Structure 1
C-alpha cells in the first residue's frame, strides 16, 4: 500500500485544515496516510514513505518560513528521497502582493535537492481553504498518487 506523510506548520489553522483535507483525499485513494505537525516531525521520516508532502504558511511581510518549520526545512536537503514523490501546499494572504505563499516555492526548491520527483504543482490558497482550494487539494492528491504509479 502506498504510504503518504504530510508534515505541516499552521499558526491560524488554515494550513492544518488543508492538511486534513489532503488526509481525507489520500484515504479515498486507498493510501496509508500519516499527518504530523512540523515540530513533531523529522525530515528523515520521509525515507519510510512513498509520497512526501509539506504544508506551510508564509509568515509576515518578508515572506519568511515559520519558525516552527525552519529546522525541518534546513535538514530536508540532507535526506535522500530518490524514487519518492513530493508535493507542497500552503496558505497565505493575498494582501502580501509579490510575497503570496512564497514558502511553497521555497520548499519545492528544497525538495529538488533530495532527488524526489515533483508530483504536482504546489497548491496555494488564500487564508482558509474555500471550495475551490478544497477541489484543488483533492486533485493535488490524485496527481501525486498518479505520478508515483507512473514511476513504478
Structure 2
C-alpha cells in the first residue's frame, strides 16, 4: 500500500485549510496519509513515505516563512529519488512574486531528486468554496498518480 505525508506551514490558517481539503481528496483514494505541521517533523522522516506533499504560505515578496526555513535547509542532504511529490500554498496577488514559496519548494524537491507528479497549486488568500473543490481534486489526482506509479 502506498503511504504519503502532507507537511505544511500556515500562519493565518489559509494553508492549513488547503491542507485539510487536499488530505480529504487523497484519503478518498484510500492512501495512508499523515498530516503534520512543519515543526512537528524532522525532514529526514520524509524518506519513509512514497508520496510527499508540502504546503506553505508565501511571506512578503515571495519568501519562505520563518517557520519553514530550517526544514527547507535540512532537506538539502536528503535523497528523494523515487519519491513522488507535490507542492501547494496560499499567497496574495498583491505581491509581484505570487506564491513564491511554492516555487521555491518545487525547485528544492527537484534538486533532491523528487518526481513532481502534480502541477503546483496556488490559492489566493483564504480558500473559497470553489477552491475547496480544486484542493480536493488536487489531492485525488496526486493519490491516483501515486497509486499508478
Please state which band the TM-score falls in when normalised by the shorter chain: over 0.9
User: What is the TM-score with the length of structure 1 in the denominator?
Assistant: 0.92
Cα distance in 2 for residues equivalent to 1:103 and 1:37: 16
Gaps of at least 5 residues in structure 2 are: none
What is aligned with 1:108?
106
User: What is the TM-score with the length of structure 2 in the denominator?
Assistant: 0.94
Q: Which SS does the other structure have where 1:20 is aligned?
A: helix
- Per-residue deviation, 1:146: 2.8
Cα distance in 1 for residues equivalent to 2:135 and 2:78: 25
RMSD: 1.3
Deviations for 1:3-46, whole angstroms, at most 9, x for unmatched residues? 11111000100000011111111111101111111111221111
Large movers: runs of 4+ above 2 Å: 145-151
Q: Which SS does the other structure have where 1:65 is aligned?
A: coil
Match of 2:126 among 108, 112, 128: 128
Q: Output aligned runs, 1:22-33, within 5 Å.
A: 22-33=22-33
- Per-residue deviation, 1:68: 0.2
Cα distance in 2 for residues equivalent to 1:63 and 1:106: 9
What is aligned with 1:148?
146
Cα distance in 2 for residues equivalent to 1:147 and 1:77: 25
